[in-house]
Amino acid sequence: MTQKLNNVKEFVNSIDTFIFDCDGVLWLGSTIVEKAVETLQYLRALKKDIKFVTNNSTKTREQFMEKIKSYGIECYLNEIYGSSFGTAIYLNKIGFNNKKVFIIGEYGLQKELNDQNIQTVKEVTRLNDGIDNVQNIQVESDIGAVVVGMDTCLTYQKAVYAHKAIVENNALFIATNTDTSYPIKNGKSIPGAGSIVSMISTSTAKQPIIIGKPETLLLDLIIEKDKLNRERTCMIGDRLDTDILFGINGNIKTLLVLTGISKLEEISQPNSPIIPNYYTDTVSDLLLHKE
């Protein structure tokens, strides 16, 4: 059962760590949500612990921090958890070394992996059209993993390289995140990293290890590092199938805000599959704690 966030005072007092999804919660595209900055300032004044979690693999944590700061929001590097950073930590955790990673992804993914001493291959030599050309693509023998994230310069040739690495080299197959599409201006959308991941999982008939929300790897990193109490930790998000499911899978509290993708109708039916503990119109409703 979900409930409208009526008793803000009791709720805010019951939580020590607020984990924020950003787009749809704090800003919409490049427009800050009204009073979102004041809300974060207020939570900091109450000495609350704050984290930011993003599935966006195209930015490094530094870039993400700069974006957050550009809205006037106080923010520190160790508060940011992105799917590319999570991928690098995961690879180190499983003892992946001495091999290279082929990435279908952008600068943020490459940089986060390189910063953790993981070597990457990002480009495939451009070839002329034709199956005869692509079938000769040679995968370097030391490619031990393929990581697929958002890549706005995706080519069929990169897909062939990834496919061959997984099928012929038995490389690990990792997805930074599986968001099917991303909202853009005027209520429109574009294919997300998940649609690229689907291409590779369809061709190889293999399922990837998934790093981003709703999988709990990033949450486990946050909880382990700061020894957090799950009972007193809350995920605030705008999307049921990533943010809220992430919180549910990780056994923490969940608050859906209605400024982004998911709508009230989706949680008000008795058979809705993903139900947050609480919902509210906007993140700035937390300021009602003051009253």
Q: Let me know if 21 is a catalytic residue.
A: yes
H or E element in which residue 1 lies: none
Shorter beta-carbon distance to ligand PLP: residue 56 or 262: 56
- The contacts of residue 95 (CB under 8 Å, 6+ apart) are none
Asked whether residue 23 is marked as a ligand-binding residue, the answer is yes
| C-beta of residue 146 within 8 angstroms of C-beta of residue 200 | yes
Query: Of 16, 23, 49, 226, which is the active-site residue?
Result: 23
Establish whether 238 is an annotated binding residue: yes
How far lies 285's CA from each of 40, 78, 160, 273, 279, in Å? Answer: 11, 26, 49, 25, 10
Asked if residue 179 binds Ca ion (CB under 5 A), the reply is no
C-beta of 150 vs 222, nearer to ligand PLP: 150
Contacts to ligand PLP from residues 167-186, by CB under 6 A: 177, 179, 182
Question: Is 22 among the residues that bind ligand PLP (CB under 6 A)?
Answer: yes
Phi-psi region of 288 (alpha: psi -120 to 50; beta: other; left: phi over 0): alpha
49 marked ligand binding residue: no
Q: Which of residues 192-221 bind ligand PLP (CB under 6 A)?
A: 193
Q: Where are the beta strands (DSSP E) in the chain?
A: 3-4, 17-20, 27-28, 31-32, 49-54, 80-82, 100-104, 119-121, 143-148, 172-175, 181-183, 189-191, 209-210, 233-237, 253-257, 278-280
Using CB under 5 A, which residues numbered 24 to 63 contact Ca ion? 24
| Structural tokens at position 203 | 């061709």
**How many Cβ atoms are within 10 Å of 125's Cβ, its own excluded?**
8
Residue 285 interacting with Ca ion (CB under 5 A): no
Q: Which of these ranges, 35-43, 55-63, 110-118, 125-133, lies near ligand PLP under the rule CB under 6 A? A: 55-63
19 contacts ligand PLP (rule: CB under 6 A): no
Per rule CB under 5 A, is residue 21 in the interface with Ca ion?
A: yes
- By beta-carbon proximity to ligand PLP, the closer residue of 144 and 192 is 192
Q: Which residues bind ligand PLP (CB under 6 A)?
A: 21-23, 54-56, 58, 150, 177, 179, 182, 193
